[in-house]
Amino acid sequence: MESDYGLPRQLSHLQHARSLYRPQLPPCLEGTAVRVEFGDATTAVDISGASAISQSFPHTYGQPLAHFLRATSNVPSAQIITEHPAIKVGLVFCGRQSPGGHNVVWGLHEALKIHNPKSTLLGFLGGTEGLFAQKTLVITDDVLSTYRNQGGYDLLGRTKDQIRTQEQVNAAMAACKALKLDGIVIVGGVTSNTDAAHLAEIFSQAKCSTKVVGVPVTLNGDLKNQFVEANVGFDTVCKVDSQLISNLCTDALSAEKYYYFVRLMGQKASHLALECTLQSHPNMVILGEEVVASKLTIFDLTKQICDAVQARAEKEKYHGVIIFPEGLIESIPEVNALLQEIHRFLRQGISKDKIPSQLSPWASALFQFLPSFIREELLLYPASDDSAQLSQIETEKLLAVLVDAEMSKRLKEGTYKGKKFTAICHFLGYQARGSLPSKFDCDYAFVLGHICYHILAAGLNGYMATVTNLKDSLNKWRCGAAPITAMMAVKDYGRASGSMTIGKPVVHSATVDLRGKVYEVLRQNATKFLMEDVYRNPGPLQFDGPGADSRTVSLHIQDLDYMGRIKELNTYLEKVRSIVKPGCSQDILKAALSAMSSVADVLSVMSSPSNGTV
């Protein structure tokens, strides 16, 4: 199989046209000089865990933000790098494949060659397993020719998603030393970038010269924080899934006799389900975060859906589309507790056929209540991140069975007088992640690839490539880099119980903020979506013309551009310093002291751990 990696592919007319598209670069990345401005030292997003994080990452914690500037920028403190010796860089795909990943490779390769044609990019074949085994492919223009702007990870492939154990870390370091790599770029999500941070720290401790850079690429959209506005692949997957959901909405409205139960990807976070709902307007969506917050049981969810079906039937509507994230099953308190028991037995080596007899009484009762197909799926060995095999658990089918039984009961008892309930189930898990990437994801990934080179040219280690102000036009994007340790936390809130456990510092999945602006838009429209069939079809991916430059709804709603605001704040601080100098009037000094004292007091309260602001 390894011999197939990087081979030219036969492209359709559309694929060929896409391969000829060349993304533009923001002004700050143009030219052959790297201009970088370093900000203040960073702290951790989790203030209460800052001490633990700094102790775990003594060499890479507290590094400054980096802003890459256009050549015409008048910033005296900026560092201008004009010398670009030939370097050798490795790149590895981690995690589930996301549309746009190939353009990270292309952008990095182009940046390397622009700054020194003798530089080399090596792609590791087969993900982290290829890294450990030192199996590489030299990336060239010919190799990239049929992979530019194409979906999937088939240029290099991927296998296991982790660089975590001591053996794996040692193998990664051995590969970097043997191949004499100046840098290694890890393309992935929260787990992969956590591994990248640990690798950077260990390399620094061991005085390994290889610099580690992370890139936010994950279709789940859960690698979000003040530095990372969006993930490569999320835009594409949302658009592809939204079209499929919209098609089902139209079909349901046409036949007027089916309920489509649709499960989407999205493990610990329901961003994909939320965004697709805002794009296509199905009748109902149940987010994992809502279930956790309200501690909804499987029976609560069944009743909630049945009540919705009954309310629609009273308006003579016997059709609909309901969306669920794949992580919903772990959000249900009693099912989550059952899974924890099962996983504990599996890790002890107990065969799955003997586990049912060893469950606690309450867990056994729930297990026996569930349909046989779900029992088999719950007994699957957990994934590498200790979660259930969520893509294999048919939550939508479980809910359809339970709703069907309850609606039949209501019909028999006479409390429901409508037509018989009929559900058709779908899992949109793999139909979108191999899609041709959207124009946004092509551009975003390509720019991130270029930023990876700028990070390495600046000699930075343990950083993630970042772009902010993404909702604006590309020429206004702000490019930079942030230490991965600044995105870490040690608090881990349980999915179902809400209890807090303290663990190792990691980059945590960002869940849907139930107090945020995006969720508020959903809540404002929930009743309309449920009762009025205001289905919306965004259509297929557009590469030219109307819709080609569209962004996700959530990206427009959210109030982002953290890096830009940091720079704006620094501008104001410098302005204060320029006005309040020794020799200024007493009135100016008093006004400055009063204002700054008030600001300091407010910020102290907001940033205290007891306030919960992180």
Q: Who's near 484: CB < 8 A, 6+ residues apart? A: 60, 193, 194, 196, 197, 200, 214, 462, 463, 464, 507
Identify the CA nearest to 319 among candidates 270, 260, 394, 278: 260
Separation CA 488–CA 214 (nearest Å): 14
Q: Quick check: 495 pLDDT over 70?
A: no
pLDDT of residue 614: 41
Of 122-126, 285-289, 502-506, the least confident: 502-506
* Mean per-residue pLDDT, 237-257: 96
pLDDT range class, residue 155, cuts 50, 70, 90: very high
**How much of the chain, in percent, has pLDDT values that exceed 90?**
76
* Mean per-residue pLDDT, 399-428: 96
pLDDT of residue 608: 63
Q: Who's near 516: CB < 8 A, 6+ residues apart? A: 558
Whole-structure pTM value: 0.90
> What does DSSP assign to residue 581?
-
Separation CA 405–CA 65 (nearest Å): 56
What are the angstrom distances between the C-alpha of 585 and each of 36, 581, 595, 597? 37, 9, 16, 18
Write the Ramachandran bin of 459: left for phi over 0, alpha for psi from -120 to 50, otherwise beta: left
pLDDT of residue 3: 60
Of 205-209, 328-332, 438-442, 599-603, the least confident: 599-603
Contact 165, 181 (CB under 8 A): no
pLDDT range class, residue 426, cuts 50, 70, 90: very high
What number of other Cβ atoms are within 10 A of residue 295's Cβ?
14
Mean pLDDT of the chain: 91
Backbone φ, ψ for residue 400 (5° rounding) = -65, -40
pLDDT of residue 421: 96
Q: Quick check: 613 pLDDT over 50?
A: no
Separation CA 485–CA 525 (nearest Å): 38
Q: With helix as H, strand as E and coil as C, how does 305-319 read?
A: HHHHHHHHHCCCCCC
The encoded tokens of residue 29 equal 């990345």
Contact 186, 214 (CB under 8 A): yes
Separation CA 202–CA 214 (nearest Å): 15
Place of tokens 């702000």: 478
Q: Quick check: 564 pLDDT over 80?
A: no
What are the angstrom distances between the C-alpha of 463 and each of 65, 87, 200, 453, 470? 9, 18, 9, 12, 19
Strands (E), 189-328: 211-216, 259-264, 284-285, 320-325
The encoded tokens of residue 485 equal 């340790």
End-to-end CA distance of the chain: 46
Q: Quick check: 145 pLDDT over 80?
A: yes
What are the angstrom distances between the C-alpha of 440 and each of 76, 229, 517, 539? 33, 13, 22, 16
The encoded tokens of residue 488 equal 């870490």
pLDDT range class, residue 6, cuts 50, 70, 90: confident
Contact 530, 308 (CB under 8 A): yes
Secondary-structure class of domain 234-331+395-434+513-553 per CATH: alpha beta
> What does DSSP assign to residue 217?
B
Angle between helices 333-347 and 361-369 (to 10 degrees): 110
pLDDT of residue 499: 40
pLDDT digits (tens, 9 = 90+) for 343-375: 999 999 999 999 999 999 999 999 999 999 999
pLDDT of residue 560: 62
Sign of torsion, CA 484 487 491 495? negative
Q: Give bridge partners of residue 41 from the DSSP assignment.
A: 64
**How much of the chain, in percent, has pLDDT values that exceed 70?**
94
Secondary-structure class of domain 37-233+437-491 per CATH: alpha beta
Q: Quick check: 563 pLDDT over 70?
A: no
The distance of Cα 345 from the centroid of its chain, to the nearest Å, equals 31
pLDDT range class, residue 501, cuts 50, 70, 90: very low
* Mean per-residue pLDDT, 429-439: 93
Separation CA 13–CA 258 (nearest Å): 37
Identify the CA nearest to 382 among candidates 317, 436, 329, 430: 329
Separation CA 352–CA 374 (nearest Å): 13
Please determine whether the domains at 37-233+437-491 and 234-331+395-434+513-553 fall in the same fold group of CATH: yes
Identify the CA nearest to 374 among candidates 346, 354, 396: 396
Contact 216, 222 (CB under 8 A): no
The domain limits of the chain are 37-233+437-491, 234-331+395-434+513-553, 562-599
pLDDT range class, residue 567, cuts 50, 70, 90: low
Q: Quick check: 138 pLDDT over 80?
A: yes
